[in-house]
Amino acid sequence: MASVAGKLHVLVACALLLLAVGCQASPFWPLEIGYYHDKCPQAEAIAKGVMEKAIFQNPGNGAAMIRMLFHDCFVEGCDASVLLDPTPFSPTPEKLSPPNDPSLRGFELIDAIKDAVEAACPGVVSCADIIAFAARDASCILSRGKVNFDMPSGRRDGTFSNASEPLKFLVPPTSNLSDLVASFVIKGLNTEDLVILSGAHTIGRSHCSSFVSDRLNTPSDINGGFAAFLRGQCPADATPGGNDPTVMQDVVTPNKLDRQYYKNVLSHTVLFTSDAALMTSAETARMVVENAKIPGWWEDRFEKAMVKMAGIEVKTGYQGQIRKNCRAINHY
Protein backbone atom coordinates (compact mmCIF):
# COMPACT_ATOMS: atom_id res chain seq x y z
CA MET A 1 0.00 0.00 0.00
CA ALA A 2 1.42 3.32 -1.02
CA SER A 3 2.07 5.67 1.88
CA VAL A 4 0.97 9.30 2.08
CA ALA A 5 4.65 10.25 1.95
CA GLY A 6 5.01 8.23 -1.22
CA LYS A 7 2.11 10.05 -2.84
CA LEU A 8 3.55 13.42 -1.83
CA HIS A 9 6.83 12.36 -3.38
CA VAL A 10 5.05 11.59 -6.65
CA LEU A 11 3.26 14.96 -6.60
CA VAL A 12 6.48 16.86 -5.90
CA ALA A 13 8.28 15.01 -8.68
CA CYS A 14 5.48 15.75 -11.14
CA ALA A 15 5.41 19.42 -10.13
CA LEU A 16 9.15 19.68 -10.73
CA LEU A 17 8.68 18.00 -14.10
CA LEU A 18 6.02 20.52 -15.05
CA LEU A 19 8.29 23.39 -14.11
CA ALA A 20 11.23 21.89 -15.96
CA VAL A 21 9.62 20.98 -19.27
CA GLY A 22 6.28 22.78 -19.25
CA CYS A 23 4.38 19.61 -20.13
CA GLN A 24 1.04 18.45 -18.78
CA ALA A 25 0.96 15.44 -16.50
CA SER A 26 -1.85 13.53 -14.77
CA PRO A 27 -0.50 11.46 -11.87
CA PHE A 28 -2.19 8.08 -11.70
CA TRP A 29 -2.39 6.38 -8.34
CA PRO A 30 -3.19 2.66 -8.26
CA LEU A 31 -6.26 1.53 -6.36
CA GLU A 32 -5.55 0.35 -2.82
CA ILE A 33 -7.18 -1.97 -0.31
CA GLY A 34 -8.04 0.18 2.69
CA TYR A 35 -7.69 3.45 0.79
CA TYR A 36 -10.01 5.21 3.27
CA HIS A 37 -8.36 3.77 6.38
CA ASP A 38 -7.07 7.19 7.45
CA LYS A 39 -9.37 9.50 5.50
CA CYS A 40 -12.69 7.92 6.48
CA PRO A 41 -12.18 4.73 8.51
CA GLN A 42 -15.93 4.09 8.83
CA ALA A 43 -16.63 4.24 5.08
CA GLU A 44 -16.66 0.55 4.22
CA ALA A 45 -18.50 -0.46 7.40
CA ILE A 46 -21.17 2.17 6.70
CA ALA A 47 -21.67 0.86 3.17
CA LYS A 48 -21.96 -2.72 4.39
CA GLY A 49 -24.46 -1.76 7.08
CA VAL A 50 -26.75 -0.07 4.58
CA MET A 51 -26.46 -3.04 2.21
CA GLU A 52 -27.29 -5.59 4.92
CA LYS A 53 -30.53 -3.77 5.76
CA ALA A 54 -31.44 -3.29 2.11
CA ILE A 55 -30.89 -6.95 1.19
CA PHE A 56 -32.81 -8.12 4.27
CA GLN A 57 -35.74 -6.04 3.03
CA ASN A 58 -35.37 -7.22 -0.58
CA PRO A 59 -32.65 -9.57 -1.90
CA GLY A 60 -33.13 -7.96 -5.30
CA ASN A 61 -31.31 -4.91 -3.98
CA GLY A 62 -28.12 -6.96 -3.90
CA ALA A 63 -28.55 -8.16 -7.46
CA ALA A 64 -29.13 -4.55 -8.52
CA MET A 65 -25.79 -3.44 -7.06
CA ILE A 66 -23.79 -6.18 -8.80
CA ARG A 67 -25.44 -5.31 -12.10
CA MET A 68 -24.86 -1.61 -11.54
CA LEU A 69 -21.12 -2.16 -11.14
CA PHE A 70 -21.04 -3.96 -14.51
CA HIS A 71 -23.10 -1.29 -16.27
CA ASP A 72 -20.99 1.49 -14.79
CA CYS A 73 -17.56 -0.02 -15.42
CA PHE A 74 -18.16 -1.04 -19.04
CA VAL A 75 -19.08 2.56 -19.96
CA GLU A 76 -16.50 5.30 -19.31
CA GLY A 77 -14.82 3.02 -16.77
CA CYS A 78 -15.77 2.61 -13.09
CA ASP A 79 -16.50 6.29 -12.48
CA ALA A 80 -20.17 6.43 -11.40
CA SER A 81 -21.15 8.03 -14.72
CA VAL A 82 -24.24 5.80 -14.72
CA LEU A 83 -25.59 7.65 -11.66
CA LEU A 84 -25.81 11.11 -13.23
CA ASP A 85 -29.30 12.57 -13.70
CA PRO A 86 -30.34 14.55 -16.77
CA THR A 87 -29.71 18.30 -16.74
CA PRO A 88 -30.42 21.07 -19.28
CA PHE A 89 -26.75 20.86 -20.30
CA SER A 90 -26.75 17.04 -20.42
CA PRO A 91 -30.34 15.93 -21.06
CA THR A 92 -29.60 12.31 -22.01
CA PRO A 93 -27.17 10.65 -19.56
CA GLU A 94 -26.33 6.94 -19.45
CA LYS A 95 -29.17 6.03 -17.10
CA LEU A 96 -31.67 6.93 -19.85
CA SER A 97 -30.05 4.61 -22.41
CA PRO A 98 -32.02 1.47 -23.40
CA PRO A 99 -29.58 -0.95 -21.68
CA ASN A 100 -30.26 0.92 -18.41
CA ASP A 101 -33.75 2.33 -18.69
CA PRO A 102 -36.01 1.06 -17.22
CA SER A 103 -34.24 -2.10 -16.02
CA LEU A 104 -31.30 -0.69 -14.03
CA ARG A 105 -32.28 0.00 -10.45
CA GLY A 106 -30.73 0.76 -7.07
CA PHE A 107 -30.04 4.47 -7.51
CA GLU A 108 -31.83 5.32 -4.26
CA LEU A 109 -29.73 2.73 -2.44
CA ILE A 110 -26.52 4.38 -3.64
CA ASP A 111 -27.97 7.70 -2.47
CA ALA A 112 -28.59 6.21 0.98
CA ILE A 113 -25.01 4.95 1.27
CA LYS A 114 -23.63 8.26 0.02
CA ASP A 115 -25.74 10.23 2.52
CA ALA A 116 -24.54 8.06 5.40
CA VAL A 117 -20.90 8.31 4.34
CA GLU A 118 -21.12 12.07 3.78
CA ALA A 119 -22.49 12.49 7.30
CA ALA A 120 -19.36 10.79 8.63
CA CYS A 121 -16.75 12.15 6.20
CA PRO A 122 -17.94 14.98 3.94
CA GLY A 123 -16.37 15.15 0.50
CA VAL A 124 -14.05 12.17 0.90
CA VAL A 125 -15.60 8.99 -0.53
CA SER A 126 -16.36 8.81 -4.24
CA CYS A 127 -19.62 7.53 -5.67
CA ALA A 128 -17.59 5.17 -7.86
CA ASP A 129 -16.10 3.53 -4.78
CA ILE A 130 -19.55 3.32 -3.19
CA ILE A 131 -20.82 1.32 -6.17
CA ALA A 132 -17.80 -1.00 -5.89
CA PHE A 133 -18.26 -1.48 -2.13
CA ALA A 134 -21.99 -2.10 -2.55
CA ALA A 135 -21.39 -4.77 -5.21
CA ARG A 136 -18.75 -6.45 -3.06
CA ASP A 137 -20.98 -6.47 0.01
CA ALA A 138 -23.96 -7.71 -1.99
CA SER A 139 -21.83 -10.59 -3.28
CA CYS A 140 -20.82 -11.56 0.24
CA ILE A 141 -24.29 -11.29 1.75
CA LEU A 142 -26.14 -13.11 -1.05
CA SER A 143 -23.55 -15.92 -1.15
CA ARG A 144 -23.85 -16.42 2.63
CA GLY A 145 -20.18 -15.45 2.96
CA LYS A 146 -18.82 -17.84 0.33
CA VAL A 147 -17.86 -14.91 -1.91
CA ASN A 148 -15.80 -12.73 0.40
CA PHE A 149 -13.08 -10.43 -0.91
CA ASP A 150 -11.37 -7.09 -0.38
CA MET A 151 -12.26 -4.36 -2.87
CA PRO A 152 -9.45 -1.92 -3.71
CA SER A 153 -10.58 1.70 -3.74
CA GLY A 154 -9.43 5.20 -4.61
CA ARG A 155 -11.62 5.75 -7.67
CA ARG A 156 -12.78 9.23 -8.56
CA ASP A 157 -16.05 10.21 -10.18
CA GLY A 158 -16.41 11.09 -13.84
CA THR A 159 -18.00 14.23 -15.25
CA PHE A 160 -19.29 12.88 -18.57
CA SER A 161 -22.35 10.73 -19.21
CA ASN A 162 -24.19 10.21 -22.48
CA ALA A 163 -26.93 7.76 -23.44
CA SER A 164 -25.14 6.81 -26.66
CA GLU A 165 -22.20 5.25 -24.82
CA PRO A 166 -23.92 2.20 -23.22
CA LEU A 167 -25.14 1.17 -26.67
CA LYS A 168 -21.50 0.84 -27.76
CA PHE A 169 -20.29 -1.33 -24.89
CA LEU A 170 -23.24 -3.14 -23.27
CA VAL A 171 -24.20 -5.88 -25.71
CA PRO A 172 -27.82 -7.09 -25.52
CA PRO A 173 -28.92 -10.45 -24.05
CA THR A 174 -29.60 -11.64 -27.60
CA SER A 175 -25.85 -11.64 -28.32
CA ASN A 176 -23.86 -14.64 -29.54
CA LEU A 177 -20.62 -15.82 -27.98
CA SER A 178 -18.25 -13.97 -30.30
CA ASP A 179 -19.98 -10.64 -29.62
CA LEU A 180 -19.89 -11.30 -25.88
CA VAL A 181 -16.20 -12.16 -25.90
CA ALA A 182 -15.38 -9.11 -28.02
CA SER A 183 -17.24 -6.82 -25.61
CA PHE A 184 -15.14 -8.14 -22.73
CA VAL A 185 -11.81 -8.12 -24.55
CA ILE A 186 -12.17 -4.44 -25.44
CA LYS A 187 -12.39 -3.75 -21.69
CA GLY A 188 -9.34 -5.84 -20.81
CA LEU A 189 -11.29 -8.89 -19.69
CA ASN A 190 -10.99 -12.38 -21.17
CA THR A 191 -13.25 -15.30 -22.03
CA GLU A 192 -12.98 -16.81 -18.56
CA ASP A 193 -14.00 -13.48 -17.02
CA LEU A 194 -17.06 -13.53 -19.27
CA VAL A 195 -18.07 -17.02 -18.16
CA ILE A 196 -17.38 -16.32 -14.49
CA LEU A 197 -19.18 -12.97 -14.34
CA SER A 198 -22.16 -14.43 -16.21
CA GLY A 199 -22.70 -16.46 -13.05
CA ALA A 200 -24.22 -13.36 -11.45
CA HIS A 201 -27.35 -14.31 -13.42
CA THR A 202 -28.06 -16.72 -10.60
CA ILE A 203 -29.74 -13.78 -8.80
CA GLY A 204 -32.05 -10.98 -9.81
CA ARG A 205 -34.98 -10.62 -12.16
CA SER A 206 -35.34 -9.95 -15.87
CA HIS A 207 -38.00 -8.19 -17.90
CA CYS A 208 -39.79 -10.58 -20.24
CA SER A 209 -38.96 -8.36 -23.22
CA SER A 210 -35.29 -9.30 -22.79
CA PHE A 211 -35.86 -12.90 -23.89
CA VAL A 212 -39.39 -13.54 -25.22
CA SER A 213 -38.75 -12.76 -28.88
CA ASP A 214 -35.62 -14.86 -29.39
CA ARG A 215 -36.14 -17.60 -26.78
CA LEU A 216 -39.90 -18.23 -26.72
CA ASN A 217 -41.33 -16.84 -29.96
CA THR A 218 -38.70 -18.46 -32.17
CA PRO A 219 -37.06 -21.90 -32.07
CA SER A 220 -34.30 -22.13 -29.44
CA ASP A 221 -32.58 -24.70 -27.27
CA ILE A 222 -34.59 -23.73 -24.18
CA ASN A 223 -36.03 -26.62 -22.14
CA GLY A 224 -39.65 -27.27 -23.12
CA GLY A 225 -41.01 -27.33 -19.58
CA PHE A 226 -39.15 -24.18 -18.68
CA ALA A 227 -40.44 -22.47 -21.83
CA ALA A 228 -44.00 -23.40 -20.90
CA PHE A 229 -43.48 -21.96 -17.41
CA LEU A 230 -42.14 -18.71 -18.87
CA ARG A 231 -45.03 -18.42 -21.32
CA GLY A 232 -47.31 -18.52 -18.32
CA GLN A 233 -45.44 -15.56 -16.83
CA CYS A 234 -44.74 -13.46 -19.93
CA PRO A 235 -46.99 -12.03 -22.64
CA ALA A 236 -45.91 -13.00 -26.15
CA ASP A 237 -45.77 -9.32 -27.12
CA ALA A 238 -43.75 -8.11 -24.12
CA THR A 239 -42.07 -4.82 -24.96
CA PRO A 240 -39.92 -2.42 -22.91
CA GLY A 241 -42.10 0.20 -21.28
CA GLY A 242 -45.26 -1.73 -22.18
CA ASN A 243 -46.75 -4.93 -20.79
CA ASP A 244 -43.44 -6.25 -19.53
CA PRO A 245 -43.46 -8.19 -16.24
CA THR A 246 -40.33 -9.62 -14.64
CA VAL A 247 -39.31 -13.17 -13.77
CA MET A 248 -36.54 -14.64 -11.64
CA GLN A 249 -33.38 -15.44 -13.57
CA ASP A 250 -32.77 -18.55 -11.46
CA VAL A 251 -35.94 -20.24 -10.23
CA VAL A 252 -34.01 -22.86 -8.20
CA THR A 253 -32.10 -20.59 -5.77
CA PRO A 254 -33.36 -17.13 -6.79
CA ASN A 255 -31.99 -15.21 -3.81
CA LYS A 256 -28.64 -16.94 -3.40
CA LEU A 257 -25.41 -16.12 -5.23
CA ASP A 258 -24.16 -19.62 -6.05
CA ARG A 259 -23.12 -21.93 -8.88
CA GLN A 260 -26.70 -22.96 -9.70
CA TYR A 261 -26.56 -20.76 -12.80
CA TYR A 262 -24.12 -23.16 -14.47
CA LYS A 263 -26.34 -26.13 -13.71
CA ASN A 264 -29.15 -24.18 -15.34
CA VAL A 265 -27.00 -23.53 -18.42
CA LEU A 266 -26.37 -27.29 -18.68
CA SER A 267 -30.07 -28.10 -18.32
CA HIS A 268 -31.11 -25.40 -20.84
CA THR A 269 -33.14 -23.55 -18.21
CA VAL A 270 -31.61 -20.09 -18.63
CA LEU A 271 -33.38 -17.00 -19.90
CA PHE A 272 -31.05 -15.37 -22.38
CA THR A 273 -29.46 -16.28 -25.68
CA SER A 274 -26.27 -14.88 -24.14
CA ASP A 275 -26.53 -17.47 -21.34
CA ALA A 276 -27.11 -20.37 -23.71
CA ALA A 277 -24.23 -19.11 -25.88
CA LEU A 278 -21.75 -20.32 -23.25
CA MET A 279 -22.35 -23.86 -24.54
CA THR A 280 -21.53 -22.99 -28.16
CA SER A 281 -17.76 -23.45 -27.88
CA ALA A 282 -15.72 -26.28 -26.40
CA GLU A 283 -13.70 -23.84 -24.28
CA THR A 284 -16.62 -22.07 -22.63
CA ALA A 285 -18.65 -25.28 -22.29
CA ARG A 286 -15.76 -26.81 -20.34
CA MET A 287 -15.74 -23.80 -18.03
CA VAL A 288 -19.48 -24.13 -17.48
CA VAL A 289 -19.07 -27.78 -16.47
CA GLU A 290 -16.20 -26.96 -14.09
CA ASN A 291 -18.20 -24.21 -12.41
CA ALA A 292 -21.25 -26.43 -12.11
CA LYS A 293 -19.48 -29.51 -10.79
CA ILE A 294 -16.57 -28.36 -8.58
CA PRO A 295 -17.56 -26.85 -5.21
CA GLY A 296 -15.88 -23.52 -4.52
CA TRP A 297 -14.40 -23.28 -8.02
CA TRP A 298 -16.73 -20.55 -9.25
CA GLU A 299 -16.78 -18.52 -6.03
CA ASP A 300 -12.98 -18.23 -5.98
CA ARG A 301 -12.86 -17.04 -9.57
CA PHE A 302 -15.84 -14.71 -9.16
CA GLU A 303 -14.00 -12.83 -6.42
CA LYS A 304 -11.02 -12.21 -8.69
CA ALA A 305 -13.17 -11.31 -11.70
CA MET A 306 -15.16 -8.77 -9.71
CA VAL A 307 -12.00 -6.98 -8.58
CA LYS A 308 -10.67 -7.08 -12.14
CA MET A 309 -13.90 -5.62 -13.56
CA ALA A 310 -13.99 -2.95 -10.86
CA GLY A 311 -10.59 -1.74 -12.07
CA ILE A 312 -11.64 -0.99 -15.65
CA GLU A 313 -10.47 2.45 -16.81
CA VAL A 314 -10.62 3.93 -13.33
CA LYS A 315 -10.01 7.60 -12.66
CA THR A 316 -7.57 8.36 -9.85
CA GLY A 317 -5.11 11.05 -8.80
CA TYR A 318 -6.05 14.35 -10.43
CA GLN A 319 -8.66 12.78 -12.68
CA GLY A 320 -12.37 13.32 -12.08
CA GLN A 321 -13.79 14.59 -8.80
CA ILE A 322 -15.45 13.46 -5.57
CA ARG A 323 -19.11 14.27 -6.12
CA LYS A 324 -21.08 15.74 -3.24
CA ASN A 325 -24.25 14.32 -4.77
CA CYS A 326 -23.91 11.11 -6.78
CA ARG A 327 -26.55 12.29 -9.23
CA ALA A 328 -24.88 15.58 -10.16
CA ILE A 329 -21.44 16.90 -11.12
CA ASN A 330 -19.83 19.33 -8.70
CA HIS A 331 -19.72 22.88 -10.04
CA TYR A 332 -17.15 25.09 -8.39
- Exposure class string for 279-308: b at 16+ Cβ within 10 A, else e: beeeebeebbeebbeeeebbbebbbebbbb
**Distance between CA atoms of residues 201 and 287, nearest Å:** 16
What's 223's DSSP letter? -
The answer to whether the annotation marks 179 as part of a ligand binding site is no
Spatial separation of the C-alpha atoms in residues 327 and 109, rounded to whole Å: 12
281 is in an annotated binding site: no
Q: Per the annotation, does 188 bind a ligand? A: no
* Category of 213 on φ-ψ map: left (φ > 0), alpha (ψ -120 to 50) or beta: alpha
Residue 236 is inside which H or E element, if any?
none
- Write down the catalytic residue from 71, 207, 268, 331: 71
150 annotated among ligand-binding-site residues: no
Interacting residues of 155 by C-beta distance below 8 A, sequence separation 6+ = 31, 78, 79, 80, 126, 128, 129, 132, 314, 315, 316, 320
Helices 297-309 & 282-293 angle (0-180, nearest 10)? 120
Check whether 299 is labelled as a binding-site residue: no
Confirm whether residue 239 is marked as ligand binding.
no
CA 271 – CA 19 distance, rounded (Å): 58
115 annotated among ligand-binding-site residues: no
SS3 content of the chain, % helix, strand, coil (to 5): 50, 5, 45
Asked if residue 38 belongs to a known ligand binding site, the reply is no
Instruction: Give one DSSP letter per residue of 141-179, joined into a string.
Output: HHTTTSS-----B---B-S---THHHHHHS--TT--HHH
Give the DSSP per-residue string, 120-141: HSTTTS-HHHHHHHHHHHHHHH
37 tagged catalytic: no
Say whether 273 counts as a known binding-site residue. no
Please enumerate, by residue number, every residue annotated as part of a binding site for Ca(2+).
72, 75, 77, 79, 81, 94, 202, 250, 253, 258
Q: Show which residues are catalytic.
A: 71
Please enumerate, by residue number, every residue annotated as part of a binding site.
72, 75, 77, 79, 81, 94, 201-202, 250, 253, 258
Please enumerate, by residue number, every residue annotated as part of a binding site for heme b.
201
